[in-house]
């Protein structure tokens, strides 16, 4: 069993195992499968780290940025799979913080990397577990509607503004669905419904920089052109599942 004392050693073993698995098969597995394998091995390392290391963050409440890489916002705690993040975690599985310990969560361009039916509900449920009653979450994702509308209108200039590296209109459209490890294309209607199904209340589409909680609008300006923004709040009451989990 991994403990706090031996977690660094265990993480190093996972990383070493990953290198031995990946290196010999580089010419055998398709590139996509190889990328997925690397990702899942990194996720496994993050899971082990999240169990073995409880970050010393001081007393709650916390403000989180999910998918922060190693970016830092004053007053916010970064959560990411990458080593060096303030909280290392696989958000599809578990974030090592107590129930109701967060007063706000910001998540920019993460959900498009998750499988819609299996991983998105789990991640949203985990965020809901972390939020104190009535606390907000703001989510930003690439807006597939913008890409598809520009494609159907034959507006190549607009497509180029959304993603300047496509060598054809259809190539550009496919970036929003499959580029950079994306697994799902979102529009505002679908994201609003996903948050409501997860248990969020007062869910509504917002615009760049516009938030009912101005301190939560950490939107990157370079992503405004292709993004949509949705906010919702944890309910003031809690529901208890048959398993005893708080949601």
pLDDT tens digits along 90-128: 888 888 899 999 999 999 999 999 999 999 999 999 999
Lowest model confidence (mean pLDDT) among 70-84, 169-183, 192-206? 70-84
Question: Could you give the angle at which helices 31-52 and 7-22 cross, rounded to 10 degrees?
Answer: 170
156 vs 83: CA distance, rounded Å: 39
**Confidence at residue 39, expressed as pLDDT on a 0 to 100 scale:** 72
- Nearest alpha-carbon partner for 115 in 40, 47, 171, 41: 40
Q: What is the average pLDDT across 15-24?
A: 50
**Confidence at residue 189, expressed as pLDDT on a 0 to 100 scale:** 98
CA atoms within 13 A on the CB side of 235: 14
Question: Which single residue is written with the structure tokens 């916010």?
Answer: 76
92 vs 199: CA distance, rounded Å: 17
235 pLDDT above the threshold of 90? yes
**Confidence at residue 244, expressed as pLDDT on a 0 to 100 scale:** 38
Instruction: Tell me which long-range contacts 187-191 makes (C-beta under 8 A, separation of at least 24).
Output: 187/143, 187/144, 187/145, 187/228, 188/143, 188/145, 188/228, 188/230, 191/111, 191/139, 191/141, 191/228, 191/230
**Confidence at residue 245, expressed as pLDDT on a 0 to 100 scale:** 42
Token couple for 13? 């073993």
Residues in the chain: 247
The model's confidence at residue 4, banded by pLDDT at 50, 70 and 90, is very low
Within the chain, where are the H helices?
7-22, 31-52, 119-130, 144-152, 156-162, 169-178, 188-198
Strands of the 201-206 sheet, one edge to the other: 87-88, 77-80, 62-66, 102-108, 136-142, 227-233, 201-206
pLDDT tens digits along 118-153: 999 999 999 999 999 999 999 999 999 999 999 999
DSSP reduced 3-state for 56: coil
């Amino acid at each position: 069993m991994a403990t706090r004392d031996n977690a660094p050693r265990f993480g190093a073993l996972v990383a070493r195992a990953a290198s031995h698995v990946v290196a010999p098969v580089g010419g055998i597995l398709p590139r996509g499968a190889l990328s997925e394998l690397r990702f899942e091995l990194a996720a496994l390392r993050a899971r082990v780290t999240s169990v073995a290391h409880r970050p010393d963050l001081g007393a709650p409440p916390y403000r989180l940025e999910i998918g922060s890489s190693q970016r830092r916002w004053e007053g916010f705690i970064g959560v990411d799979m990458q080593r060096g993040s303030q909280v290392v975690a696989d958000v599809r599985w578990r974030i090592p913080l107590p129930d109701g310990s967060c007063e706000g969560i910001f998540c920019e361009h993460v959900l498009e990397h998750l499988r819609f039916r299996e991983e998105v509900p789990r991640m949203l449920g985990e965020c809901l577990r972390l939020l104190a009653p009535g606390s907000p979450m703001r989510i930003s994702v690439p807006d597939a509607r913008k890409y598809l509308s520009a494609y159907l209108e034959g507006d190549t200039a607009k497509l180029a503004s959304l993603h300047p590296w496509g060598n054809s209109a259809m190539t550009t459209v496919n970036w929003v669905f499959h580029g950079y490890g994306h697994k799902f294309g979102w529009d505002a209607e679908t994201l609003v419904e996903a948050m409501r199904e997860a248990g969020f209340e007062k869910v509504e589409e917002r615009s760049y920089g516009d938030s009912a909680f101005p301190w939560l609008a950490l939107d990157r300006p370079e992503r405004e052109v292709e993004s949509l923004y949705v906010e919702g709040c944890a309910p003031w009451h809690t529901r208890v599942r048959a398993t005893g989990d708080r949601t």
